[in-house]
Amino acid sequence: MFVAIMVATATPAAAASPALNFSDDKTPNPTIVEDELTIHEHDRGQMGDALEYYDDSGEVTSLNASVNSSQTTPVGVRFDKVDAEAFAQFPRVDSEGDNAATWTKASDWSTSSGASSSVSVSEADADGVEKVTVDASVASTETATATFGANVSLDSDPNKRVLTFGGNVDELTTDATVDVRVVDGDGDYRSANISASELASDETVIANGTGTGFVFQERISNLPLGGTGDGALDSIQQIDVVASESDAEVTISWLDADRKGEVDLAEIERDTDDDGDLETTTVTNIYEGGVTNITGLSTLGDTFDTASINDLSVYDVSYELADLTDESEYSVNFSSADAYSYPEKLELYGDLSVPTAIDISHGDLTLEFDQGLINERYAVLEVGSGVDSSTDFGNVSDSAMTDMTGSLMGDDTTAELVSSATADTNYRIHAVALLQTEEVDDVQGSAGGMGPTGSGGGGFFSNVWGQIIGVAAAVGGAFGISRYFGGGS
């Protein structure tokens, strides 16, 4: 009979997952949770989802995991670690090949300073991004200036263009200020500044302290005019980075004074109306600096369509039993539970592990278990840390498994089964949950063996089993049959 039904009803499942209804809170779904995953190179030209990465063979692959949907900003980007073609394009010269004219060449900068001051410009490529560091040692009442003017000559509409500055403020000693100036041919300039005495969110301020990942964009006409020319910014001939009064250092990852519009960076959460609550907003500047948490990779502006994001942060990642697709990694079995004074039981095995790769780094990993039943209804709950996944379920020695029923804290709580889990370690979970007859349907799901998406079947045995129960239920006596096949526990 078993064979006959199996042949009649079993269907192959391409991406099988355990044949349980994971939307029911009684369904056991042990999960390894991770606070922050780092993808060292998220290449937007090759990847879409935040859980994709290059495996150690250089192939794009995806973690068998999910990001907690309650995260409003599930990914984080440090813009000075983003490698976007546009960052290095300035100045744009009609005839240049392969972006030969670029501010990222330190040798194309010049310097000047007061008698007791000095300044150096050096290339500081990092994270796959071309960068230039301006390091100024400045005496009181003096200035030190780094100038980029090679191939810069914008005679039309200088005030309609946008000054863009992205990068890090590495050092800003007390009283130091850094001005970033667009300068014309007769000594006028308009400037944005870095100063501890300014409000960071001010539209003429790049930053007011040290930090990383700042992005500043502002229409030049909105920036204050200075200098000793004729009082009008007639053209843009150079960009000056001017440190005053005391030591300062900046590392530039994005510089531009050409474009006539600000570009969208991404959608973030920011308090835009000063009421203390965050709003969702698409921004063109990052005055907060650091890692910018964004509402999704898809909100990145088109400047970043083919960018590489180095060290992409992904928050609140779950490696769930429900995510398992390899049928050798789990087993579910409903059967009679007479021995426990309950009508039915679900016996479950699962192998959970978090993969490692050169191109990913893991944060804190915790094996958790959300309880949907009272403690007494978990007749068995045990974990084997480091159990070889090739060992058949049920063939693991008792000594390899640790009883975790003492970690249970009641219905609707989360038990911590392994507090400091490690990647590349197999955690074998074995649970027996005691169920009322009507709960079997809830836990198994109305699809009678469909996985959580309803689009695929369960593992081979569990799928067949679900089908058997479904078929048997139709003719009555489902649990007579299930008892017949019930596994011992």
* Residues engaged in binding Ca ion (CB under 5 A): 89, 99, 101-102, 184, 186, 188, 229-230, 232, 234, 271, 273, 275, 277, 279
Q: How many CB atoms lie within 10 A of CB 273?
A: 8
CB nearer to Ca ion: give 275 or 302.
Answer: 275
State the DSSP H helix or E strand holding residue 312, giving kind and residue range, or none if neither.
strand 308-320
Q: Which residue has the tokens 């978090």?
A: 354
3-state secondary structure of 384: strand
Q: Which residues contact 476 (CB under 8 A, 6 or more apart)?
A: none
Q: How far is the CB of 85 from Ca ion (least distance, A)?
A: 10
Q: How far is the CB of 102 from Ca ion (least distance, A)?
A: 5
- The CB-of-189 to Ca ion minimum distance in angstroms stands at 9
State the nearest-atom distance from the C-beta of 342 to Ca ion, in Å.
52
230 vs 305 by CB, closer to Ca ion? 230
Q: To the nearest whole angstrom, how small is the minimum distance from the Cβ of residue 128 to Ca ion?
A: 19
Would strands 52-54 and 279-283 be described as parallel, antiparallel, or unpaired? unpaired
Maximal CA-CA distance, the chain = 98
Question: CA-CA distance, 324 to 428, in Å (whole number)?
Answer: 13
Give SS3 for 213: strand
- Cα separation, 64 vs 70, in Å, equals 19
Least spacing, CB of residue 223 vs Ca ion, in Å: 14
Element (H, E) at 438: helix 437-444
Nearer to Ca ion, 229 or 363 (CB): 229
Considering the complex, state which of residue 185 and residue 410 has its C-beta at the smaller distance from Ca ion. 185
State in angstroms the smallest separation of the CB of 91 from Ca ion: 6
Of 271 and 376, nearer to Ca ion (C-beta) is 271
CA distance 342 to 336: 8
Provide the token pair at 20: 């349980």
Based on CB atoms, which residue is closest to Ca ion, 271 or 411?
271
DSSP 107: G
Q: State in angstroms the smallest separation of the CB of 93 from Ca ion.
A: 6
Question: Do the bridges between strand 205-207 and strand 188-195 make them parallel or antiparallel, or are there none, so unpaired?
Answer: parallel
Task: For residue 3, give every residue at least 6 positions away whose Cβ sits within 8 Å of its Cβ, in sequence order, or none.
Answer: none
Cβ distance to Ca ion smaller for residue 179 or 184: 184
Choose between 189 and 479: whose C-beta lies nearer to Ca ion. Answer: 189
Residue among 488, 483, 455 at smallest CA distance from 468: 483
The residues that bridge with 31 in the sheet, in sequence order, are: 320, 368
